[in-house]
Each structure stands twice: as C-alpha cells, then as structure tokens.
Amino acid sequence: MAEMKDLGFDTKAIHAGAAPDPTTGARATPIYQTTSYVFDDADHAASLFGLQAFGNIYTRIMNPTQAVLEEKTAALEGGTAALAVASGHAAQAIVFHTIMEPGDEFIAGRNLYGGSINQFNHAFKKFDWNVVWADIDDPKSFENAISPKTKAIFIESIANPGGAVTDIAAIAEIARRAGVPLIVDNTLASPYLCRPIEHGADIVVHSLSKFMGGHGNSIGGVIVDGGTFDWSRDGRYPTMSEPCESYHGLKLHETFGNFAFAIACRVLALRDLGPAISPMNAFLILTGMETLSLRMKKHSKNALAVAKYLNDHDKVTWVSYAGLEGDKYHDLAEKYCPKGAGAVLTFGLKGGHDAGVKLVDGVEMFSHLANIGDTRSLIIHPASTTHSQLTDEQKVAAGAGPDVVRLSVGIESKKDIIADLEQALKQV
C-alpha cells in the first residue's frame, strides 16, 4: 500500500492505524478489554515508565484499541499524533492543563457549545485559568484581547448551535503573531468537511461522541497535535520546554519534537487526571469512523434541503445555515468547508420561546435530545436545555436566543425529515 499520507480520505478512514491482529488474524480491531499489560522483563518495564520506549503500561494511559483510534484521527486531521480521552470536555481540560499555569488567560470565541462556555467560565476558574471572550465575526477582537498572560486562542470551526463558520486562517495569523497556539474544536465539521491544521491551527479537539462516532452510542474525545507550534521558543510553556520532574529532568519538546504536545497530554495530564476512554467506546467510535465521509455527504445534502424548506416557510422568521446562498457565513463555508456545511442548523419561529418549545414537542420522527451528529435527526430548544445555565445576553451571543431551535439533520430520506417538520409546524 502507498504511504498513508498519500492515500485518499476514504481509504484513511478505513485503514489508517488498523491492521489484522497479529495473534489471531482478526481483521476488525479487537476490543482490548484489559486494565494492564505484562512486561517482557524489568528493563522493559523501566524503559516504558521512563519514556525511553513506547508501549502499553496501563489502560488509563494507553490501550491498543485506543491507539488505532488515535492514529486514524491524526491521519484524517493531518496531525502528527493524537490522544483519545473520555469525552470532548475531557479533551479540552487535558489541553488546557498542559498549556496553562495558575493566573494565565486564554481567548475564546463567544460562539461556542453551551457546555464549553460553562466549563470555561466556571470549572476552569477553580484552576485559576481565566477566559477572555472575543467575537468570531471580528478577528480584530481577538488581537485586542491579547495580554502578557494569554496562553492560547480557542475557537470552533463551525459553531454550535448557531452554525457560524469561523475565519480560521485570520485568527491563526493573530495567534502566530502573538506566539500562542490556536486550538480549534472541529466537532461539527469533522475532518471530512474541514481540516483546521491546513488553515493554521496548532491543536484540534473533537467530541468523538458526535459525527466521528456517528451513531449516538458512545462517549469519547480526542486531541490532535498539529506538530506546528514551537513550545520552546520563549519559555512561556514550561510543561513543554523545562525539565520535567516526573521524568528525571526530561525536556518533552526537546525529546519528542513535533508530537511532544500529544505526549505531554498523555504522560502528564491524562496520567494524573485520569479521564481515560474505555476500550469499548474506542471500538464503537472506530467502527463509526469508517463511514464518516458517506455520512457527512448525506448529512450535508439533507441539511441543505431542510434549510431551504424552512427558509421558505411562513412560520419561520430566519434560518442560519452556512450552506444557504445569502447566509452571512456562506463565503467562509465555501472556503473552509467546500464539501458541505454540515448537519447542524438553527432557525427562529414566529412566537419565540413558546413556539419553539411547542415545535419540539410536536415532532414524531425527530428525537428530542441533547446531542448532535447521530444518524437520526435530532431536535432541541437550546435556551431551555443546553444553554439554560447562561444569562439571556450570553444565550443570544452564543446563538441560542429564546426563539432558536437547533436541528441535527440525520441521514434518513429527506422527504420524511421535511414531512415530520411540516406536521409539527402545523401545530405551532
């Protein structure tokens, strides 16, 4: 087979990281349901624990099923290495634990998943990590927010729930000039629609529970190291550049080069905080990833059809979907997501909050639940659920105002999706 980097996306989705099991010949990646692994001898064990050799030690830190998932994700995103963890929130916590020190700041775009806004505003404060908010529609606002305490910039490629497309390259240039890494949550787009590293991102994170797994049956997250950031340039990232007490003075960036960040996340933050992905969940997500391109094509095609239908409906006041011509983010979608604008869209109803709640209660085929990226079509009223802990002002800023309904359009027949919305809209 050709070099993996030269293969097509669909081929990588099936073959990257995966090979027949050397012991049994099993073609599907086995579920290595074990806590720990036998060492060859005392020297072998010592070399593993000292980071002098790569191998399996304990499933909290690594697992063979997990390793295939990591290699596949890194290949699809164009990164140097990856680390799979228990959830998307765990991925973000691990990333910032590796980058930040008490008192540090990071800048984040306001258009984020409500859970991330809560994590940044509240949970991270317990570590004395402080978020400064910026406007993704105004890249200059990120530049204006930079201070000597800034350690990173965080954005979503396609924002959840509003579907706004972020100008990754413009913000990446600001991060580069400031000497800080750009972290991109690529959950809504998936690497099939958008590859942020190609546009200047240094680190990519995903909730694997969404489109990567694709079937709503498993929780997981992943961190992809772009291998593009110089962690040793000015001493601002001591975890990466200074001697590590845990490993007898080893300098992680000096030793591991362009995949050092992924190593640091694994052998420090994951080791000590412990949000490990289960082998079973890694297996289920791997299975879903093999059909990622097929699903994303259908998701995007169906979502565009639904957006056009809603855009013409007399009970709908507005539709936000970057795939629609005339949408404010359409040009950015053409640049960053040329294969489609994804599955998630939002819209507003005449009647506001009460109308949105009634619509959600009236659907039959759509599932009312707090998830996206499933094969099934999903619906939710964010202001009363996923973003309910935010202030009214924060809800509006995040694209989750009182009239907003969010759809994650599935891969069913589009006529059936639209028919379900039609019968529910008649009840509003």
Ordered by start, the domain boundaries in the chain are: 8-288, 292-425
Residue pLDDT, tens place only, 67-92: 999 999 999 999 999 999 999 999 99
Residue 418 CA: distances (Å) to CA of 86, 248, 308, 318, 410: 35, 61, 10, 17, 11
- C-beta of residue 29 within 8 angstroms of C-beta of residue 283: yes
Segment 140-167, tens digit of pLDDT? 999 999 999 999 999 999 998 778 999 9
| pLDDT, position 1 | 58
Express each pLDDT in 16-59 by its tens digit. Answer: 999 999 889 999 999 999 999 999 999 999 999 999 999 999 99
Write out the DSSP string of 355-374.
HHHHHHHH-SSSEESS----
CA distances from 137 to 155, 175, 215, 263, 406 (A): 12, 16, 32, 34, 21
Alpha carbons 396 and 261: distance in angstroms, whole number = 35
State yes or no: cis peptide before 161, omega within 30 of 0: yes
The DSSP symbol for 276 reads: P
At residue 163, the 3 state secondary structure works out as: coil
Note the pTM of the prediction, 2 decimals: 0.95
Cα gap 126→384, rounded to integer Å: 26
CA 168 to chain centre: 14
Other beta carbons within 10 Å of 144: 14
Q: What is the mean pLDDT of residues 229-241?
A: 97
Cα–Cα distance between 59 and 44 in angstroms, integer?
A: 17
At residue 223, φ and ψ (nearest 5 deg) are: -120, 130
| 292-425 CATH fold | Aspartate Aminotransferase, domain 1 (3.90.1150)
Q: Looking at the predicted structure, is the pLDDT value of residue 280 above 70? A: yes
pLDDT computed for residue 332 by the predictor: 98
Phi/psi of residue 331, each to 5°?
-65, -40
What's residue 2's pLDDT?
A: 64
* Average of per-residue pLDDT across 112-135: 95
Mean pLDDT of 188-216: 98
Nearest partner of 66 among 109, 102, 18, judged by Cα: 18
The burial of 142, by beta-carbon neighbours within 10 Å (0-12 exposed, 13-18 middle, 19 or more buried), is given as: buried
Q: Is the pLDDT of residue 4 over 90?
A: no
Q: What DSSP letter does each residue of 70-102 carry, written as one string? A: HHHHHHHHT-SEEEEES-HHHHHHHHHHHH--T
Distance in angstroms (rounded) separating the CA atoms of residues 388 and 320? 20
CA dihedral sign, ordered 192, 196, 199, 203: negative
Rounded mean pLDDT, 220-228: 98
Structural contact between residues 295 and 211, judged by C-beta atoms closer than 8 angstroms: yes
What was the pLDDT predicted at 345? Answer: 95
pLDDT tens digits along 95-120:
999 999 999 999 999 989 888 999 99
Question: Is 309 a residue whose pLDDT tops 80?
Answer: yes
Spatial contact of 379 and 406, defined as CB atoms under 8 Å apart: yes
CA angle 290–296–301, rounded 5-degree value: 150
Per-residue pLDDT, averaged over 355-370, amounts to 94
Handedness of CA 56, 262, 192, 340 (dihedral sign): positive
Read off the amino acid at residue 146. Answer: I
- Lowest model confidence (mean pLDDT) among 234-243, 316-325, 343-352, 382-391: 382-391
Q: Are 399 and 320 in contact (CB under 8 A)?
A: yes
pLDDT over 70 for what percent of the chain?
100
CATH of 8-288, one of 3.40.50.300, 3.40.640.10, 3.30.70.260, 3.30.360.10: 3.40.640.10
Mean of the pLDDT values across residues 274-282?
98
At 114, give phi and psi (nearest 5°).
Answer: -55, -35
Query: CA 315 to CA 321: how far, in whole Å?
Result: 17
Give residue-wise pLDDT tens across range 379-420.
Answer: 999 888 877 777 888 877 777 788 899 999 999 999 999 999
Which comes out higher in pLDDT, residue 389 or 346? 346
Q: What is the mean pLDDT of residues 164-189?
A: 98
Q: Hey, what are 6's tokens?
A: 């030269």
